[in-house]
Amino acid sequence: MNKDKLFLEIALEEAEHALVENTYPVGAILVDENNQIVAKGRNQVHSHHDATAHAEINAIQLAGKTVLDAKVHGKKLTLYSSLEPCLMCTGAILFANIKKVVWILNDDSGFGSFNKVKEAQLFEKKYNEIEIMEEPYDDLKIKQIELMKQWSMNSNHVDNLRK
Ligand SMILES: [Zn+2]
């Protein structure tokens, strides 16, 4: 199997795990240039009562020193996420010097920001060093959409809280 697809499937497993924990179904993993998984992250906003506990942040934090070492030694890290990174995570990805970002589903109607920041030509020099793959696999996209549908029925879903 294509390695990008394999890693996105692992990110999707993390998203499923998050949903079981009654929080946003988003998963993200960090992979090094030897195709080793450095860290697996998932959304923990509701499970940890932390509005900043997004999957990508979780993965970057768990990767610890590996992220800084990659930065110092010019090594390439890839982040695979089940959903397009939000503004906060886009910032974290730029700070972590991640060189490739792949996600299953765009998030135009939500907080998806990785493309918006790129289109605004902000941090253009940084962006020029980053390879982006968005929505590469329709079957995985359908699975993430399904997880988000299930999330919309969860009691922690913010639309429900507003009712
Ligand atoms: Zn985020």
CA 66 to chain centre: 18
CA separation for the pair 146, 49 (Å, rounded): 24
Among the listed residues 9, 56, 84, 131, the single catalytic one is 56
pLDDT in the model for residue 108: 87
* Residue-wise pLDDT tens digits, 96-125: 999 999 999 999 888 999 999 999 999 999
Range 69-76 average pLDDT: 93
102 C-alpha to center of ligand 1: Å? 14
Residue 160 pLDDT exceeds 80: no
CA separation for the pair 105, 96 (Å, rounded): 22
* Residue-wise pLDDT tens digits, 22-40: 999 999 999 999 999 999 9
pLDDT in the model for residue 134: 97
pLDDT in the model for residue 1: 72
Chain-wide mean pLDDT for the chain?
95
- The yes-or-no answer on residue 146 being catalytic is no
CA separation for the pair 10, 19 (Å, rounded): 14
Residue type for position 46 = H
76 C-alpha to center of ligand 1: Å? 21
Q: For residue 30, list its beta bridge partners.
A: 39, 79
The H or E element that residue 101 is part of is strand 100-105
